[in-house]
Structure 1
Amino acid sequence: MFIVSYVWLHNQVHAVISESIKTHNQALDKLRQQGGTIIQNEHKDNTLGSVIVNGKKSVWPLTKSEGLRSNG
Structure 2
Amino acid sequence: MKHTGWIMSIVVAATLSACTNMNPQQQGTVSGAAIGAAAGAGIAAISGGSGWTGAAVGAVAGGVAGNIKGGRAQ
Whose RCO is larger (CA < 8 A, sep 6+)?
2
TM-score (norm 1): 0.30
Q: Which has the higher strand share?
A: 1
TM-score (norm 2): 0.30
Answer with 1 or 2: which has the greater Rg: 1
